[in-house]
Structure 1
Amino acid sequence: MKGTSLVSAIALLGLVCAEASAVEAEKRPNILFAIADDWSVHAGCYGTPWVKTPAVDRIAREGIRFTNAFTPMAKCAPSRAIVLTGRHLWQNGEAGNHQAYFPADLKVWPEALVEAGWRVGFTGKGWGPGVANDASGKPRRLTGTAHQKRKSPPPTKGISDLDYAANFSDFLDATPAAGNPWCFWYGGFEPHRGYEAGSGASKGGKKPSDVDHVPGYLPDSDVVRDDLLDYAYEVEHFDAHLGRMVAELEKRGLLERTLVVVTSDHGMPFPHVKGFAYHDSNHVPLLIRWPAGLKSPGRVVEDFVDFTDLAPTFLDYAGVDVAKAGMKPITGDSLRPILEADHGGRIVAGRDHVLVGKERTDVGRPHDWGYPIRGIADADFLYLRNYEPSRWPAGNPETGYLDVDGGPSKSLILERGRKDRSDLFWRLCFGMLPADELYDLRNDPDCVRNLAADPAQADRVRSLRDRMESELRAQGDPRMLGRGLVFDEYKATSNAGFYDAYLRGEKLKAGWVTPTDFEPAPITPRP
């Protein structure tokens, strides 16, 4: 009799635990993380009339729109590594560089979710370019299991043929309706270059006059305006698939149980933006929708947040402890207090600035060296420290300025520079830079007037540099501790030794630039 009672008690306890586990799972949201490739803060909800983004705008209306969201590093692989680890580029070892070997001991939050029983998948671009293997040499699934089978005819030659939304549907079809939540990474390849020239006009129905603002670092010409319209058309492709995914969630009754986060890895693939550290380089769109855990939808939040905050946010809502999951300490903080606030504007005290930086963003300099930068941005100013100002910021001229993707805008500015090396746009996008840069973001958000040499700004430069470097030292930045050379010593996973091989006459592929980008001979540097 006692044995029967004991068995019954154990069975009852098991049932209670199972029900408790089911209730706890119900509290945890599914996660749809949508990250575009090279999308600046251009969307209808951000006030851009020449980019139509109904899906993104819906997330803004029904969620939160952040106005001061940043990636700390404006290049694909290192930026995505920050998203995955919650740590700054200077804390991620080799993963702080582009075309890197991802450290085997650097665990990421999708891996932690898988170990916690989640089903995790992705379509499109996950982390990369680079190599990510475990200690035994086996490839890792940093963003989950790939879902890349479904294809559809792309609207232009420059757009991927992946049917992202159909691949998401396949993922949902293969995911049990009951049980642990799921996480899906939608990594659109758009609006990364190359573009089909003229597609913004011919297929998107856009006109050069639609562009309401050409940034001050680009010539205001039809060449640049058409280039911006082609970029806009690819942003709209990303948005269209996001809209289909949201509609699919709605059809399945899953939308209200899903945390939707939309962003981009960094700014647009234009000179002075991607691969640099200016405001437009690091400033990204960020929108979050989560009905069950978000108060007062439609809010606009002005707190400064960055990509180190995404990992702790996902893990927080997933109920996964960072230390127990075996991840390295996370630098960022969960965004939950912002989501659960009942007002917009500034919410969390202390979120008044971000740190940014850069190491190697591409090969093309002697010895595969990078262009190391650290910076700090607040609501008023951006301060940048260039630690190797004798190097070419955009990459060496004779090897095609490889830090800048090829395209009509780049080609136009290079032609202007060949006619006149004092050309303003060539100097802003490809010329040498001083050790210190300071920009008044309220009056010069395009960052074209460097105030660092102004004696009236000396105290501000010193104060911002001291604050920045103090935080970097606390975070263990090798560059602050006399070990910055380590970033130059990390080997690139592709095109290693490009500079020396190219100068020896070897025919090398650099498909991200145009053949005419290469100068016929080295240029004598001048400030």
Structure 2
Amino acid sequence: MKKPITFLVVLTSIASIAGSKNSKPNILFAISDDQSFAHTGFAGCNFVKTPAFDRVAREGVYFSNCYAGSPGCAPSRSTIVTGRYHWQNEQSGQHASSWMKNHVPFVDLLEANGYATGRTGKGVAPFRYARTPMDSLWRATDAAGIEHSQIRYQKCSLNDERTAEGISDINYFENFKYFVEHVRGDKPFFFWYGAKEPHRDYERDSWKRNGKKLEDDELPGFFPDHEIVRGDLLDYAVEIEWFDLHLQRMLAYLEETGELENTIVIVTSDNGMPFPRAKANCYDYGVHVPFAIRFPKEFPGNRIVSDLLSFTDLAPTILELTRTSTKGMLPISGVSILNILKSKKEGTVNPSREYVFAGRERHSSSRYMNRGYPQRLIRSKDFLLIWNLKPDRWPAGAPQVIKSGTKNELVPMFGIDEQGKHHAEWAFTDIDASPSKSFIVENWQGAKFRYFFDLAVAKRPEYELFNVKEDPFCLDNLAGKPEYACVEQEMKITLLAELKKSADPRIVGPEKELFDSYIRYSPIREFPRP
């Protein structure tokens, strides 16, 4: 009888240790890089398989209307960790600029509240963090936490299971496992899993050996139906599945170790797909992202919620969940959604959440003097209004760069050389280089494809209004149409009021061109004066 008693004591001790470790919930925050809302199995996409995301959405709460802070990575990620619109975060909200110390991320507050924090892969980037003590105003480490990415795949080795060239060599799961077993100690953890997928570059035609078929593609209405575009979309799907595979392993590991039920799992993406008229655009496929959160012990699951969710709402929600004070952070613009998460309702849970807001400034170096394409957006349940503050500028970037090594010699118009080949770095550089981009530009004169070229790169009116419920691809601009005048006017007034309330420099000044003045720490292209 003594052995069973001893065994019972051991089990009791283990349970006691687990209980002390789990007095606060863990948080696993998983974020892909460039994935639009439509591209998960749970959302009904047939050409991508996402069992891990689907499980979180099925067992948790799926938000069908989540909007990123921006259609570009750095400003959007800035919004996540500060709970503030990117236009409130000075340099710390702008692509490839510097992260200033005063913009304290919620991750720091969690650490001060007893959490072990860390990350693997891409954090809050691209930003320039402090290099030496001379950078005294800059934050020293990534705003998502200390990186744990040492465990990597070795090319051509037996353990290299990567499904395509271009996929990062970081073994995300093994780094997460190392953090849990060797870094977090007896503390609850916040871990940021920042995949570098499905950000470009892709291995062209990797879909062919990954069991995909061109006919399975579901093309957005702003893409031409051609095998080059279809194949590009399937290569994108291969990389989404890689992100999901490592998330699946993390979930299985937490389940095996008995920690899954005490872990809040949040899965999303930073902005939309890296294709023309998506990423770096405020249309739905640029800012509408997947979002699901699972924590069955607190949040009734198997629910689809249609309430509008902004990335500004994530920081206050996480702080409230962990009973962490906001002291030390700059004023937060978002509002916690904990009441929605704890509700048992589906559909519209909180009718007062009528609008969300987002926008963009600079993305790539794509215009004269490194100027951006400022946009602000307001989204209701049914409508999306975009304010293009500089409609005289090219939305996808200038159509010509100055030839490298010269003072004023221009490359050919639209970046198309004498052989008819498009060079992606020569024109429209706010669109990531891709087979889809090159195909659309190379065929711009053809009657069949000119429509898609104009959708991607042509100059746009100051205001664009779309009924996204009926027009999810944002193709029919309703701005200026008498039958939508009331909707347009109400959304303009509401957007302007929010921009004033949040002290957007573009609106309240005194330096309305402030964003174009921030130093960019990524390569700069030279463009002719417009």
C-alpha separation in 2, matches of 1:255 and 1:85: 26
Q: How does 1:159-174 map to 2 (within 5 A)?
A: 159-174=167-182
Following superposition, the deviation at residue 24 of structure 1 comes to 9.0
C-alpha separation in 2, matches of 1:456 and 1:462: 12
Q: Which amino acid letter does the alignment assign opposite residue 348 of structure 1? A: N
Q: How does 1:2-17 map to 2 (within 5 A)?
A: none
- Secondary structure of the residue aligned to 1:101 is coil
Following superposition, the deviation at residue 25 of structure 1 comes to 7.1
Q: How does 1:51-450 map to 2 (within 5 A)?
A: 51-133=48-130, 135=136, 139-152=140-153, 153=160, 154-175=162-183, 178=186, 180-200=187-207, 202-211=208-217, 213-295=218-300, 297-323=301-327, 326-399=328-401, 400-417=427-444, 423-450=450-477
- Secondary structure of the residue aligned to 2:390 is coil
Seen in structure 2, the aligned counterparts of structure 1 residues 388 and 138 have a Cα distance that, compared at 3 Å, is: closer
C-alpha separation in 1, matches of 2:319 and 2:92: 21
Aligned partners of 2:30 and 2:194 also within 8 Å:
yes
C-alpha separation in 1, matches of 2:382 and 2:375: 20
The answer to whether 1:472 aligns with 2:479 is no
User: Which range moves more in the overlay, 260-269 or 395-404?
Assistant: 395-404
1:38-88 Cα shifts (integer Å, max 9, x gaps)? 011211111111111111111112111110001030101111000110000
Following superposition, the deviation at residue 138 of structure 1 comes to 6.2
Which runs of 5 or more residues in structure 2 are unaligned? 1-17, 154-159, 402-426
Q: Which amino acid letter does the alignment assign opposite residue 59 of structure 1? A: V
2:156 — aligned with what? none
Following superposition, the deviation at residue 137 of structure 1 comes to 5.1
C-alpha separation in 2, matches of 1:433 and 1:176: 50
- Secondary structure of the residue aligned to 1:184 is strand
Aligned partners of 2:224 and 2:449 also within 8 Å:
no
2:518 — aligned with what? 490
- Secondary structure of the residue aligned to 1:100 is coil
Would you tell me which structure has more helix in proportion to its own residues?
1
* Of 27, 34, 37, the match for 1:38: 34
- Secondary structure of the residue aligned to 2:65 is strand
2:484 — aligned with what? 457
C-alpha separation in 1, matches of 2:216 and 2:173: 29
1:259-298 Cα shifts (integer Å, max 9, x gaps)? 0000000110000000010011110000101122112x11
Following superposition, the deviation at residue 136 of structure 1 comes to 5.4
1:321-351 Cα shifts (integer Å, max 9, x gaps)? 102xx00011111121111101211112311
C-alpha separation in 2, matches of 1:176 and 1:480: 44
- Secondary structure of the residue aligned to 2:274 is coil
Q: Which amino acid letter does the alignment assign opposite residue 87 of structure 1? A: R
Q: Which amino acid letter does the alignment assign opposite residue 500 of structure 2? A: R
C-alpha separation in 1, matches of 2:239 and 2:72: 18
Q: Which amino acid letter does the alignment assign opposite residue 52 of structure 1? A: K
Seen in structure 2, the aligned counterparts of structure 1 residues 138 and 488 have a Cα distance that, compared at 3 Å, is: closer
Aligned partners of 1:111 and 1:141 also within 8 Å:
no
Q: Which amino acid letter does the alignment assign opposite residue 29 of structure 1? A: P
1:511 — aligned with what? none
- Secondary structure of the residue aligned to 1:499 is coil
2:415 — aligned with what? none
C-alpha separation in 2, matches of 1:130 and 1:287: 27
Q: Percent identity?
A: 41
C-alpha separation in 2, matches of 1:364 and 1:281: 18
- Secondary structure of the residue aligned to 1:429 is helix
Aligned partners of 1:28 and 1:317 also within 8 Å:
no
- Secondary structure of the residue aligned to 2:42 is helix
2:414 — aligned with what? none
Aligned partners of 2:69 and 2:75 also within 8 Å:
no
1:453-481 Cα shifts (integer Å, max 9, x gaps)? 32333332222111110111111111111
TM-score, normalization by structure 1: 0.87
Aligned partners of 2:270 and 2:289 also within 8 Å:
yes
C-alpha separation in 2, matches of 1:138 and 1:176: 23
Following superposition, the deviation at residue 132 of structure 1 comes to 2.5
Aligned partners of 1:40 and 1:283 also within 8 Å:
yes
C-alpha separation in 1, matches of 2:93 and 2:77: 10
1:287-314 Cα shifts (integer Å, max 9, x gaps)? 101122112x110011000111111111
Q: Which amino acid letter does the alignment assign opposite residue 493 of structure 1? A: Y
TM-score, normalization by structure 2: 0.86
Aligned partners of 2:72 and 2:270 also within 8 Å:
yes
1:145-202 Cα shifts (integer Å, max 9, x gaps)? 2111111222211111111000001001114553x311110000000111111111x2
Following superposition, the deviation at residue 402 of structure 1 comes to 1.3
Which runs of 5 or more residues in structure 1 are unaligned? 1-21, 504-521
- Secondary structure of the residue aligned to 1:293 is coil
Q: Which amino acid letter does the alignment assign opposite residue 170 of structure 2? A: L
Aligned partners of 1:36 and 1:238 also within 8 Å:
yes
Q: Which amino acid letter does the alignment assign opposite residue 269 of structure 1? A: P
Q: Which amino acid letter does the alignment assign opposite residue 149 of structure 2? A: Q
Aligned partners of 2:163 and 2:210 also within 8 Å:
no
C-alpha separation in 2, matches of 1:349 and 1:452: 25
Seen in structure 2, the aligned counterparts of structure 1 residues 250 and 204 have a Cα distance that, compared at 3 Å, is: same
1:112-137 Cα shifts (integer Å, max 9, x gaps)? 12222311111110011121237355
Calculate the aligned-residue CA RMSD, in Å: 2.0
Seen in structure 2, the aligned counterparts of structure 1 residues 422 and 169 have a Cα distance that, compared at 3 Å, is: closer
Aligned partners of 2:232 and 2:436 also within 8 Å:
yes
Q: Which amino acid letter does the alignment assign opposite residue 485 of structure 2? A: A
